[in-house]
Amino acid sequence: MKLYKTEAIVLRARDCGEADKLLVLYSREYGKIKAMAHGVCKPASRKRGATQPFCHSRFLLHRGRELDSVSQCEGLEAFPALRSDLGKFGYASYLAELVDALTPESEPSEPLFLLFLTTLRLLTSNDAELLTRAFELRAACFAGYRPQLEVCVQCSGPLYGSLRFSPGLGGVLCENCWPVDPGALPCNKGIVEILKLFLRWHPARLSLLQVSRPARNQLKELMRKFLTYHLERRLRAIDFLDKLSAAGP
């Protein structure tokens, strides 16, 4: 089988030579795939639209010895609302970078594909910040980094008193245990409950959630440190998002 079909979201598209692009796709059937799209930078190319970052497209790919190539493609959803708003564009770019960082090649996860697609759809008209936090946590779980939120990650006892979150130990520490990790972040019952809702609720329901600015900042810090710990690097889109939020609405 030299040719194969797949439905995918474009994670990255890098110019290669005069007219080609090297694509990184997250596909429903095969997980992450790298593929060359030949001639896509030519103004008349019909592949142009379908190969833009975070476009949801259908691909016919040709299996190559070293690298697959795009034989045909058809755009299904281009998310124009995410391209016309700098803030939403920043969030969508971050989600794509995160999926790329969390996934190895050729390991399919349909739940992650569907979560990514649903979140991109919801980003166009919803609370982008909370959707992104929920996405971070769920995507981390799919990648095998599920934090312990039910009991203390150190002593397995109930969560009582003032709590901390330890990115390294992978969960919440009770009042008794938090000195075991001096790098643990301030946390509280309310934050833990929101994290649990992120895992339980469909992302569409998050718009019902009222979360204060201080709690949002705490969630951001916590998820960021948790992901940086596992990825062992900081993602580029984070700096872009930070610059945007520093510039204000």
Q: How open is the CA angle 136-22-143, to the nearest 5 degrees?
A: 25
Of the candidates 10, 13, 73, 174, which one interacts with Zn ion according to CB under 5 A?
A: 174
Distance CA(24)–CA(14), nearest Å, equals 9
Tell the smallest beta-carbon distance from residue 166 to Zn ion (Å): 11
Instruction: Give residues 119-158 in contact with Zn ion (rule: CB under 5 A).
Output: 152, 154-155, 157
Nearer to Zn ion, 67 or 155 (CB): 155
Q: What is the CA radius of gyration of the chain?
A: 20
Sequence-separated (6 or more) residues with CB below 8 Å from residue 209:
127, 130, 194, 197
Residue reference for tokens 């390991």 = 107
When asked if residue 166 is in the footprint of Zn ion (CB under 5 A), the reply is no
Tell the smallest beta-carbon distance from residue 154 to Zn ion (Å): 5
Considering only the stretches 10-18, 51-59, 104-112, 170-178, report the one whose residues sit in contact with Zn ion under the rule CB under 5 A: 170-178
Nearer to Zn ion, 77 or 175 (CB): 175
Nearer to Zn ion, 155 or 199 (CB): 155
Residue reference for tokens 């580029």 = 236
Question: Site for Zn ion (CB under 5 A): how many residues?
Answer: 6
The identity of residue 182, as a single letter, is P
Residue reference for tokens 């998050």 = 206
Tell the smallest beta-carbon distance from residue 227 to Zn ion (Å): 23
When asked if residue 204 is in the footprint of Zn ion (CB under 5 A), the reply is no
When asked if residue 177 is in the footprint of Zn ion (CB under 5 A), the reply is yes
Considering only the stretches 47-55, 168-176, 190-198, 201-209, report the one whose residues sit in contact with Zn ion under the rule CB under 5 A: 168-176
Considering only the stretches 89-97, 113-121, 163-171, 175-183, report the one whose residues sit in contact with Zn ion under the rule CB under 5 A: 175-183
Residue reference for tokens 């799919």 = 142
Coarse DSSP helix, strand, coil percentages of the chain, rounded to the nearest 5 percent: 40, 25, 35
Tell the smallest beta-carbon distance from residue 174 to Zn ion (Å): 3
Nearer to Zn ion, 6 or 154 (CB): 154
Tell the smallest beta-carbon distance from residue 152 to Zn ion (Å): 3
Tell the smallest beta-carbon distance from residue 148 to Zn ion (Å): 10
Phi, psi (degrees; rounded to nearest 5) at 96: -65, -40
The CA-atom distances, in angstroms, between 32 and each of 22, 25, 27 are: 13, 6, 6
Tell the smallest beta-carbon distance from residue 197 to Zn ion (Å): 23
Note whether 73 and 57 are within 8 A (CB).
yes
In this structure, the strands spanning 56-62 and 185-187 are unpaired
Distance CA(224)–CA(193), nearest Å, equals 18
Q: In the complex, which residues of this chain contact Zn ion (CB under 5 A)?
A: 152, 154-155, 157, 174, 177
